[in-house]
Structure 1
Amino acid sequence: MAWLQGPFLCGALLGWVCLSAPGLAVEVKVPTEPLSAPVGKTAELTCSYSTSVGDNFALEWSFVQPGRPVSSSQPILYFTNGQLYPTGSKAERASLLQNPPTGGVATLKLTDVHPSDTGTYLCHVNNPPDFYTNGLGLINLTVLVPPNSPSCSQSGQTSVGGSAALRCSSSEGAPRPVYNWIRLGSSPTPPPGSMVQDEVSGQLILTNLSLASSGTYRCVATNQMGSASCELTLSVTEPSKGRVAGAVIGVLLGVLFLSVAVFCLIRFQKDRRKKPKETYGGSDLREDATAPGISEQTSVRAESNNGLLERPPSASTVTTTKSKLPMLV
């Protein structure tokens, strides 16, 4: 039995190596550049793969809207156990060009594409025991839509010397349209800088308006699928005489009020400077003050006799003030 040990050990070793060897890696290839298709047409998204197709082979196509994570994708169709199962809102328009998709290619065909079909498509191949890659490919699809008829509007002060803003916007269009304003007719060309437009937002700014600024303006929205336009008539008017008169009267009244205020302030300052500053203490006595109990007549006579010989006062020249207080007996 010794001669049997060698082949037995070799066979066991070979079996262990075969069981421990990894399976083939699933490799999925998709276009690296984003795809596009006109609205209403058919889009074909190619997905190729390499693997040893077996009984457990499965294929799935799914879709995720722009700006959302891949984990929120929704199934379109899947192939398993030799059967193809379309599903979801795109089931009636989705199919595979290769059915069954077991030859290494699984191209998704989507007919009558809608603007809502714009997004990311996922091709996922699952073939146990080939678990050594995720077997996933991503394709970005853009459905091209021409711009619809834009809407035109205006705002601002449309009188001489004022400013106005003209706006233009389309609710549809992929890729996003650009906007261009043109002035119709043979009107004089506006001075440089008086017309400024933004092709992205579709806004046209008109400054320092004049009567020559009046006219018809057309906005054209354009992308690679086509163009659409709208028109707007701008009427620039002269300021009304009532407004001008009111503004002049307002200015004159303001100047008059300011002049009166300045005059009053200057007059007040002058009066304040002319007013004497006299202060009297409670204990100060004036030289010409009349003593209590003596009338003004006595004071005047005393002043008139100043410089004469002093004479004793007589009864006729002295006036006394009788006390109004009652006398006690």
Structure 2
Amino acid sequence: MGTWMFSATFICLALVSGVVCVKVVIPQPKYEYARGDNITLPCTFQSELSTPSLVIISWIAEGVDGAEDVVMLTHYSSPGRTDYNSKYEGRAKLDVAVATGKANLKLYSITLNDNRRFVCRLQIPGDDEGTPDDVTELVVLVAPSTPICKVQGKPEYGQNINLTCLSEEGSPTPSYKWESTDVRKVPRMNAPRTTDKGGILSLFNISKDTSGYYTCTSTNKIRSASCNLTLAVMPPSMLGSVGQTAGIIAGVAAAVIIFIIVIYFCCCKKKKEKDEEYALGAPAEEYRDKARTENGERPLARDDDDRSERDTRGRQNNDKPRSDYDDRRSDYDDRRSDYTDRRSDYDDRRRDRRNDDDRRYDSRDRRNDDDRRNDDDRRNDDDRRNDDDRRNDDDRRNDDDRRYDSRDRRNDDEEYDRPALPLNKPPRRD
């Protein structure tokens, strides 16, 4: 492009007088701005015509990866109108001054899609010699996103694997660098055959010493980002045993589930058969009290004979083929009627026993009343006898007192009537 412009300029200057030349200039071949900025791409032009009748200025965005070019805008000096492409309407604006030769392009809130080359082109009727256009490159700066680290291949002894590192965003395209430490986090150099290119670290004939911690750093003009990866290299037998153990566990779990399902269906089938046997067989016996004899023993009731007879009949019926449904149904009805009769007999016996109990309770109450009355009579007799004894005792004591008083009075009278003993009476000798 530069050689062509130089040649065109030299030809223009070498032309004879009277031939007009045009020149378009963009000061720098590359401009770098951060994503989201509002920028200006400068462009100036010159013409030998002092007052051209018409000047047409266009800005063109070149296609990326083989895409077509896009005309962003076109300005016509007469009548002073500017046409914008719908993709850039509201984002692009032309700052133009034909008299001074200014045709600057303004872009607002640039994105990664603006990473491309832009062309400033001038068209003047009657002045088409020289350099009617110029090109510049816009680089939108974006910090690299946090890279993603992955392992490609099996980390087994003797294998070749790749460690990949990639940032989804980053402009300009970031560069990648791998670093590693051993399991003790001591920095180490890569093996001689190891290659690190474009974020891919290739490891050959790996072993236990290859295990460790790996760090990938993604860097561009804005800043850097990194990701970490832990690599554990194991023998193939260990990985096989782990897979074999997992398979055994899965097989045992499946066998247990199948066993549980089989048991469940067997239990359901047995329960269904029991329900059918109950519907067609003898009804369950109910508990009922039996009357006792006077000595407390239970008599052999007719129920026992009926039960044994019913059991025998039930066994005989069970031995018959199940297809004889009508006969079993009739037997069931007969047993049901027998059960109803026995139930009525049982109710009668219970009523009789209840009446007997009531009579026993009445006679017991009457005896208790007689006993209480006899006890009261005995207590009254005892009280009367005690009172009589006390009165007799008092009478006896009074008689004794009266006898003692009369005796004392007689003794006193005898002492007064008895003559006094002489003073010289000799003592009595036995």
TM-score range, shorter chain: 0.5 to 0.7
Which structure 1 residue ranges, 5 or more long, are not aligned? Answer: 1-19, 245-329
Shift of 1:134: 5.3
Equivalent residues of 1:181, 1:197 under 8 A apart: no
| Count of aligned positions | 221
Distance 1:48 1:55 in 2: 18
1:173 aligns with 2:170: yes
Report the equivalent of 1:150.
147
Equivalent residues of 1:75, 1:88 under 8 A apart: no
Report the equivalent of 2:132.
135
1:59/1:186 CA distance change after superposition, 3 Å: same
1:91 aligns with 2:126: no
Report the equivalent of 2:106.
109
SS at 2:113's partner residue? helix
Shift of 1:153: 1.3
Report the equivalent of 1:196.
194
TM-score, normalization: structure 1? 0.59
Which structure 2 residue ranges, 5 or more long, are not aligned? Answer: 1-15, 242-430
Report the equivalent of 2:60.
62
More displaced 10-residue stretch of structure 1: 212-221 or 106-115? 212-221
Higher-helix-fraction structure: 2
Report the equivalent of 1:36.
32
Report the equivalent of 1:306.
none
Shift of 1:180: 1.1
Shift of 1:236: 1.6
Distance 1:53 1:76 in 2: 26
Equivalent residues of 2:185, 2:213 under 8 A apart: no
Report the equivalent of 1:74.
70
Shift of 1:40: 1.3
Report the equivalent of 1:304.
none
Query: Where does 1:237-248 land on structure 2 (aligned, <5 Å)?
Result: 237-240=234-237
Distance 2:189 2:97 in 1: 69
Shift of 1:188: 4.8
Amino acid at match of 2:212: G
Deviations 1:200-253 (A, max 9, x none): x21112334343433332211111122222222211223427989xxxxxxxxx
Shift of 1:136: 1.3
Shift of 1:104: 0.9
Q: Runs of 4 or more off by more than 6 Å in structure 1?
A: 241-244
1:242/1:90 CA distance change after superposition, 3 Å: closer
Query: Where does 1:179-190 land on structure 2 (aligned, <5 Å)?
Result: 179-183=176-180, 186-188=184-186
Equivalent residues of 1:23, 1:129 under 8 A apart: no
1:225/1:190 CA distance change after superposition, 3 Å: closer
Amino acid at match of 2:85: T
- Out of 26, 32, 41, the position equivalent to 1:45 is 41
Shift of 1:129: 2.3
SS at 1:79's partner residue? strand
Query: Where does 1:187-266 land on structure 2 (aligned, <5 Å)?
Result: 187-188=185-186, 193=191, 196-199=194-197, 201-240=198-237
Query: Where does 1:317-328 land on structure 2 (aligned, <5 Å)?
Result: none
1:197/1:178 CA distance change after superposition, 3 Å: farther
Distance 1:22 1:238 in 2: 87
- Root mean square deviation, CA, Å: 3.0
Distance 2:238 2:106 in 1: 70
SS at 1:240's partner residue? helix
Shift of 1:47: 0.9
Distance 1:192 1:121 in 2: 44
Higher-strand-fraction structure: 1
SS at 1:35's partner residue? strand
1:134/1:186 CA distance change after superposition, 3 Å: same
Amino acid at match of 2:38: T
1:194/1:208 CA distance change after superposition, 3 Å: farther
Distance 1:64 1:110 in 2: 15
Shift of 1:145: 2.2
Shift of 1:179: 0.9
Equivalent residues of 1:145, 1:174 under 8 A apart: yes
Amino acid at match of 1:93: R
1:232/1:29 CA distance change after superposition, 3 Å: same
SS at 1:175's partner residue? coil
Equivalent residues of 2:175, 2:218 under 8 A apart: yes
1:88/1:75 CA distance change after superposition, 3 Å: farther
1:76/1:165 CA distance change after superposition, 3 Å: same
Amino acid at match of 2:82: L
Query: Which structure would you say has the larger RCO, counting Cα contacts within 8 Å and 6 or more residues apart?
Result: 1
Percent identity reads 28
Distance 1:94 1:110 in 2: 5
1:55/1:95 CA distance change after superposition, 3 Å: same
Equivalent residues of 1:150, 1:229 under 8 A apart: yes
Distance 1:109 1:143 in 2: 15
Equivalent residues of 2:38, 2:106 under 8 A apart: yes
Report the equivalent of 1:24.
20
SS at 1:106's partner residue? strand
